[in-house]
Amino acid sequence: MLEFINMHPATRETATIAADIRRHIRASKAPVRERALDILIAATAIEHALILVTRNIRHFPDIEELRILGTDLA
């Protein structure tokens, strides 16, 4: 099953996008520390022009560039 998964390593560009997302979230006075992994996931999707598929869309509402498809667990 894993042979169908494309791996996208974290790159310098991923880190730059993640830093921009973090600055944007912080500017809105929202907490960012506990969202570090979500921000990295979003940055990777943005860098590679991917649609993020998730069951936790509430983790990503303030990341404007992110294309997302999913539902909320609640």
- Tell me the average pLDDT of the chain: 90
Q: Model-level pTM?
A: 0.86
CA end-to-end distance (rounded Å), the chain: 29
User: Homologous superfamily of 12-70 in CATH?
Assistant: 5'-nuclease (3.40.50.1010)
Of 62, 63, 61, nearest in space to 72 by CA: 61
Domain boundary assignment for the chain: 12-70
Of 24, 50, 48, nearest in space to 35 by CA: 24
Residue type, 27: A
Query: What does the pLDDT look like over 31-51, one tens digit per residue?
Result: 888 999 999 999 999 999 999
The reported pLDDT for the residue numbered 9 is 86
Burial call 62-74: b when 16+ CB within 10 Å, e when fewer: ebeebeeeeeeee
